[in-house]
Structure 1
Amino acid sequence: MGDDPVARFEAVYRETYDQITAYAVRRCDSPQDAADAVAETFAIAWRRVNDLPPGQEARLWLYGVARRVLADHRRSAVRHRVRDVELDTEMADLYADAPDSGVGLSAVAAVFRTLTDDDRELLSLVAWEGLERDEIATMLGVSRNAVRIRLYRARRRFSRALDEAGVRFEAKGRMIPAGRSL
């Protein structure tokens, strides 16, 4: 191998890829999560190729990197779930049921969870974070017009999903049960 970092990385990759992949698969809920963790592990190994220990110690070093990557992924998933619960609570505050409405907020939250991650994130940035289109555009690295279009489409899909679930709102934002007219 010598001192060539590319050759060293390639050798370690060939020797350890299957073991690191098996380690990640046994610890992840989905094959995609495992693949992401393995990719991130080897990306870190590539960036830190000069820190790779020699021989079998490289495999152990990679196990340590993979363990930290998986821990980061788990913490991120927990934060995501907490954010969803907080958003559900925020939506409950915004769209609290009138005593006579008969429509539970859980219906709105359930419909919201059926949206794609991108739609939920975009709607959350507007409703929950209070960001303006130009701020979202900067954050996402897209044009303000792209945000306008995506937001319009996300709102339309959310509205359609609420209609399909039988959740409707009066002009002032109060929910009314399915079957009652405005």
Structure 2
Amino acid sequence: MESDPGTALLELYDAALPEVYGYLLSRCGQRALAEDLTAETFLAAVEAVRRAPPPEIGVAWLVGVARHKLADHWRRAGREERGLRRAYDGRAEVDDPWGGFPDALAARQALAELGAHHRAALTLRYLDGLPVPEVAALLGRTVHATEALLVRARAAFRKAYAGKEEGGG
């Protein structure tokens, strides 16, 4: 007799919830957002087990879905920020080089101050360790555009981080 996919998913939920939620919380730093994205991730798993044939769902599959949900969130947030920026016509120009960052709290705060597109690119590339082509695919950009985005994101991060070191934040 075949096992019930619903029961198997419930067992996986119990085992994978801390890992999926922890992954998201460590990337976004916001409990409510991590909770929402975790729920969306498991809803995607429910939809997936209803397909015929269902994919093999495990922790790695769930974390992959969570990564996509977070990237989708950042894209939406980025679109909103671009709309606000156009409304207020404000843009920051930054030329600082990328450097080492020993203070994790200041680094997290600096990352949180960046635009969603910069946050997404830096997190996917440096925290998740994804290669640039995969970051580009997740962000819906070309590789060349993603490389340019990473240059700008590193510069913006360095400026925000320098402000934290100087006591500006």
TM-score normalised by length of structure 2? 0.47
Larger radius of gyration: 1
